[in-house]
Amino acid sequence: MARTRTSGIIWISVVLLAVAITTSTLGLFMESWRVSDEFVEKDYDGEESEVEGVSFSSGLNNLVMTYDFSEFADGYYEDQCDDDLEDSASEQRGQNAECIDDNTLILTMELSDRCELLEENYDDIIDDGDYSSEYEEETKDERDGVCQSESAGTTGTILLWIGFGTAITSMIICVISAFVAHSGVRLSGGFVGITSGLLMCASTILWLILLPDEKIDLNQGEWDLGVNFILTLVGGFLAVVAGVIALVAGRKGGGNFNSPMQQQQYFQPQQPLYQDQTQYYQKPDPYQQW
- Between CA 75 and CA 280 the distance in angstroms is 106
* Residue 226: closest CA among 62, 114, 40: 62
Collapsing DSSP states into helix, strand and coil, what is residue 48? strand
Instruction: Report the alpha-carbon distance of residue 185 to residue 166 in Å, rounded.
Output: 15
Quote the pTM value. Answer: 0.78
pLDDT for 273: 44
Q: What is the pLDDT of residue 9?
A: 85
> pLDDT in tens for each of the 290 residues of the chain?
444 455 678 889 999 999 999 999 999 888 889 998 888 776 656 667 778 899 889 999 999 999 999 988 888 888 889 888 888 888 877 788 999 999 999 999 999 998 999 899 888 888 887 777 777 888 888 889 899 999 999 999 999 999 999 999 999 999 998 887 677 888 888 999 999 999 999 999 999 999 988 777 777 667 889 999 999 999 999 999 999 998 888 776 554 434 444 444 444 454 454 444 444 445 444 444 43
Residue 75 has a pLDDT of 87
Domains observed in the chain: 2-255 (1.20.140.150)
83, exposed or middle or buried, with CB in 10 Å at 0-12, 13-18, 19+? exposed
Count of beta carbons in the 10 Å neighbourhood of residue 169: 17
Contact 75, 57 (CB under 8 A): no
pLDDT confidence of residue 256: 45
Check if the beta carbon of residue 254 is closer than 8 Å to that of residue 186. yes
Closest to 178 (Cα-Cα) out of 18, 1, 6, 15: 6
CA dist list (Å): 224 to 37, 38, 101: 9, 11, 26
Q: How far apart are the first and last CA of the chain?
A: 55
- How many Å separate Cα 106 from the centre of its chain? 25
User: What pLDDT score does 209 carry?
Assistant: 94
DSSP state, residue 74: G
Contact 249, 178 (CB under 8 A): no
Measured CA to CA, the distance from residue 227 to residue 204 in angstroms comes to: 12
Which contiguous run of DSSP H or E holds residue 133?
helix 133-180
